[in-house]
Structure 1
Amino acid sequence: MRAEQPPVAEIGLYADAEIDWDAWPATLPAVGQLLRGELQLGPGVTFLVGENGSGKSTLLEGIALAFGFSPEGGSANANHSTRPSESPIHQWLKLRRGIGAPRWGFFLRAETMHSFYTYLEDLGGSASDPDFHALSHGESFLAILETRFNGAGFFCLDEPEAALSFQSTLALMATLQSLAEEGSQILCATHSPVLAALPGAKIIEVGPWGLRESSWEDLELVQHWRRYMDRPQAYLRHLLDDAG
């Protein structure tokens, strides 16, 4: 039976949150909007799309940690850390859980999956788990999708396309669509115009303006890729001339 509300029904602040609005990360326009309550997550899939340094991964990390995930990723039950580097956002955020919503979920972040595989190995793993360390980067990601991305829950993904080929990205899209149909809530930070094209997904473009809802066709990311694929030399000529 589908829950009446998604896992994260509302994002707010603790009344005693001590935020230095003149220091990072509050100075990032996107983070400032989040802290002012201007980011609403609905059911289904929400993509955060933006350039490096725009704050999309910082936003996702803060929400994921406030939900209860480990800073280095994994399931809602994982608890491991090798080197703390997260921002303090999660200490300020107060998430209201959806009525009847599941507490299961998974936080996938590309740069820390190696430590998560070691964590699973140290625990003894599951009989259905492959030897993640013996797989290629992309193969291990796909194995995580097959073994951990199931049932309704809250799923956070930080640039999952980093390890995936074109075909594997399509497989990820199918997985996200299936999760959404089962009642899951998915938040994904991405640079991929392929992934962001998932039908029915909400797209939030992150940049100097902060947060703004966008259509796929209007994304700066999509427009740049279209122009590049049509005339790569128009981009490369300037780069190579400058380098010379």
Structure 2
Amino acid sequence: MRRFKPDPGAPPPTRAQRGTWPLTVPAVAQLLAEGLELPAGPLVLVGENGSGKSTVMELLAVTLGLNPEGGSVNTRFSTRASEPESQGLVVERSPGASRWGVFLRDETLHGLYSYLESLPGGPDVDYHALSHGEAFLEVLTRRARGGGTYLLDEPDAALSFGGSLALVSVLLDLAAAGAQVVVATHSPVVAALPGAQLLEVGDWGLRPARWEDLELTRSWRHFLDEPAAYLRHLR
């Protein structure tokens, strides 16, 4: 894929639509107005809770035709629809680009595992019997086919420090095999993914950033240097 871009044939949003979710989220409004250029390497979105990272990821998944609750291109299940519908984005692909895609969301993994168990023959692995982090890495690696697009929304929620490093290793292998990787994360480990372009998400929308300048990185560094400076304000 080269970029997500506004559909020239879609009607512009009405004033009423611009005043309702998800267009009230600055990152979403920017995405729908300007589109999103995809780098040659991985793309990592970083921002606070409520900044719009997950909504952006959901819109990208819906635009690609992926199940909004997660899974690969052929996965179809639903528990409770809470994702935004298609908002007039289209994908521009290079000729011959792979249509394979995977969308994994931490908050819907239980439903995905149950769906996989319900398929004829069931999965090769009992995901529910694994730890949260083990199951996430297992389902990702079993769907890693090299090419295609991999959207991961807050995978670090399932992972320890070591698990985050293992995820980075998997993502590096995917990128080396020609896959496109987009990750939304709260982890400075995942955000340090070598070769990745970083976008910081917030009230400003989406803006390029360097790892060492991220608020995420600065906050973790200061906290680890002197946790008492933060914790004393919580009492």
Give the TM-score, by structure 1 length. 0.90
Aligned counterpart in structure 1 of residue 108 of structure 2, from 97, 109, 112 = 112
Q: Distance in 2 between matches of 1:36 and 1:122?
A: 40
Q: Distance in 1 between matches of 2:129 and 2:194?
A: 34
Match of 1:151 in 2: 146
Superimposed CA distance per residue, residues 10-33 of structure 1 (whole angstroms, 9 cap, x where no aligned partner): 212232245221222112111111
Match of 2:93 in 1: 97
Secondary structure at 1:36 match in 2: helix
1:124 and 2:120 are equivalent in the alignment = yes
Match of 2:174 in 1: 179
Match of 2:2 in 1: 9
Q: Distance in 2 between matches of 1:150 and 1:200?
A: 20
Output the aligned Cα RMSD. 1.4
Aligned-pair CA distance for 1:81 = 0.9
Contact 1:43 1:183 in 2 (8 A): no
How many residues align structurally?
231
Secondary structure at 1:111 match in 2: helix
Aligned-pair CA distance for 1:122 = 1.1
- Cα 1:201–1:125, aligned 2, differ >3 Å: closer, same or farther? farther
Contact 2:6 2:90 in 1 (8 A): yes
Match of 1:5 in 2: none
Superimposed CA distance per residue, residues 29-58 of structure 1 (whole angstroms, 9 cap, x where no aligned partner): 111110111521122210000001111110
Give the partner amino acid of 1:117.
Y
Aligned counterpart in structure 2 of residue 230 of structure 1, from 192, 202, 225 = 225
Q: Distance in 1 between matches of 2:81 and 2:93?
A: 26
Range with greater deviation from structure 2 (137-146 or 221-230):
137-146
Contact 1:203 1:213 in 2 (8 A): yes
Q: Distance in 1 between matches of 2:11 and 2:146?
A: 34
Secondary structure at 1:170 match in 2: helix
1:56 and 2:53 are equivalent in the alignment = yes
The runs of 4+ residues in structure 1 deviating greater than 4 Å are none
Contact 1:105 1:153 in 2 (8 A): yes
Aligned counterpart in structure 1 of residue 128 of structure 2, from 133, 139, 164 = 133
Range with greater deviation from structure 2 (35-44 or 210-219):
35-44
Contact 2:58 2:68 in 1 (8 A): yes
Aligned-pair CA distance for 1:217 = 0.2
Q: Distance in 2 between matches of 1:186 and 1:95?
A: 15
Q: Distance in 1 between matches of 2:127 and 2:20?
A: 39
Aligned-pair CA distance for 1:75 = 0.5
Match of 1:221 in 2: 216
- Cα 1:125–1:68, aligned 2, differ >3 Å: closer, same or farther? farther
Q: Distance in 2 between matches of 1:38 and 1:13?
A: 6
Aligned counterpart in structure 1 of residue 159 of structure 2, from 147, 159, 164 = 164
Q: Distance in 2 between matches of 1:119 and 1:223?
A: 40
Contact 1:49 1:191 in 2 (8 A): yes
1:200 and 2:195 are equivalent in the alignment = yes
Aligned counterpart in structure 1 of residue 26 of structure 2, from 21, 29, 41 = 29
